[in-house]
Chain A
């Protein structure tokens, strides 16, 4: 891990910074000469690998592994797209109008439109702009990612109290972090939590987009990605 770690005294956030996966590189798909299809194929391959990494990452979120296997599955099945969306959005911060899926896979509005990703572009840009305006820190990004998973409103939890404790631990960490910042921005933690509805909405749009791509049958999707999409519909 080559990420610089800022110590801020908060154990949970330090752990989250440490376990934040290094960004993946896209593997350009050379099976087609159609640039738009190539972008979609490359993107689907990248997102499948992101999912694999995310499942490994989740195990290292403080409190996650203490949950039952059934509840771990339930949280991931409902929250995975929100976590993926936050990864893309955090990489896109500071990149103007492009969506940065990976350092070597950046798509602008025209490219997204040509690839059939207009809706996804609009939704992701709205969230990116919001976080850009808030000047989100890396600590806040990693905490929001973990919170999105913890707060994914999974149904049929085995132990809702344990999931509540998991959420409380992350919430406490965020509050402690914000209080430790100078100057203290009043209501900062609340402002961050108030972005979660837009994150949920954006993730739902993303799920719709990939379900549509799958139904159109132009883009073969990996087994894990399909399995996770299936859990969302």
Chain B
């Protein structure tokens, strides 16, 4: 999970993804 932290964070966010 640590390795795939951007995906993890994007899926947890209910709002639109902002981080590229």
Decide if A and B are genuine partners.
yes
Residues in chain A within 8 A of chain B (CB atoms): 48-49, 52, 55-56, 59, 69, 72-73, 76-77, 222-224, 227-228, 230-231
Partner of B11, one of A48, A49, A72, A230: A72
Residues in chain B within 8 A of chain A (CB atoms): 1, 3-8, 10-12, 16-17, 20
Given A48-B20, A52-B17, A56-B16, A227 contacting B11 (CB threshold 8 A):
no
> B16 and A55: CB pair below 8 A?
no
> B11 and A55: CB pair below 8 A?
yes
Partner of A224, one of B3, B6, B12, B16: B6
| CB closest chain-A residue, reference B14 | A59
Partner of A73, one of B4, B16, B20: B4
What distance in Å separates the Cβ of A163 from its nearest Cβ neighbour in chain B? 15
| CB closest chain-A residue, reference B11 | A72
What are 12 A-B contacts with C-beta separation under 8 Å? A48-B20, A49-B20, A52-B10, A56-B16, A69-B8, A69-B11, A76-B11, A223-B20, A224-B6, A224-B7, A227-B7, A231-B4
What distance in Å separates the Cβ of A222 from its nearest Cβ neighbour in chain B? 6
Partner of A55, one of B5, B17, B20: B17
Partner of A76, one of B3, B5, B7: B7
Given the complex of chains A and B, what is the CA–CA distance between A48 and B20 in angstroms? 8
